[in-house]
Structure 1
């Protein structure tokens, strides 16, 4: 397929460009939540507030390290088979990149595959109003925390933790990028019966793939 380069590779390129960013500037705060400064900005959050979703968008939502890359790739494969539509060259996470990205997304043919790590309350209102189909993925919080710990320490563009205990305290209190895993889980629990929302776990998807 064309444009098969995954967005994880694009993100690696962005982090590579951030090599000289001082550690105290590697994260920004927006509405009380931390985000990586090389991927998110106040400008993109402002532009995101007026982003127009489509009813036929496919929107994947997951806390970091819950299988985002894998799930997006599977969705892209499904759309390719059904619609013969190649994956977009744009990074699908809506909060990544610059404000100009949204103009390019307007030109994308449907169905668009979009994704986010954002808390339910921070998702653009148009996704909610249009009842865009949302696939929400969760992972065992213990595995999520461990994977996130290694992600922080293996990424030179995020603060390094000297011990698991220190990171665990920050993870439990939501003092990490994209905030609290548990706050996000509680928010989605309120929408578990919404017709346009499907909640699944990383473990369930993995089990199905092993059976297949």
Structure 2
């Protein structure tokens, strides 16, 4: 849920159907969507994941909203032991198949977990890298989710969250302009105790994507923080 990966605007941008309450767009919705086409996403890792984590020493990672598995597979290829969490079993089945195609060593480093990401909680200090991309949910659901993501980062570990920039919401969501579905870097920083965290990236980078054969400029919000103790 919420996962997009790099390619066309459609790869990066959920369509009008993918934003609403967890009840409206829960497991059944995503199972149907993943079953309706060979690939919903491009199969490439999210570009901000590559940019923000390529320098990290591999350890235990979790990709929350793993979708069809591109990010988890990329991490496993770099030596991470990965948990990919998603509440669509159809999406996870596709992810497992893609991991198998990447090779037995890669597949062996990934565990796919079927769970509702809006309530999933592995407990504190569970992972060295916690990453979630494009979690555009109502704040009443998203804020507790982000609080759990912060808690699950181990000392010395990294939190990476990426979303569509609020300033770019008309391009990003094509009809769903409610600011409540967006978050800012400041909101993420407010969850981080400055005595325990160092914010290493807080930016709104732009990128060029292709939609209906035309290039478009879109903006993202990227926050990467390291837990120092």
- TM-score above 0.5: no
Q: Give the structure with the higher percent helix.
A: 1
| Range of TM-score over shorter length | 0.3 to 0.5
Q: Give the structure with the higher percent strand.
A: 2
Structure-1-length-normalised TM-score: 0.39
Structure-2-length-normalised TM-score: 0.37
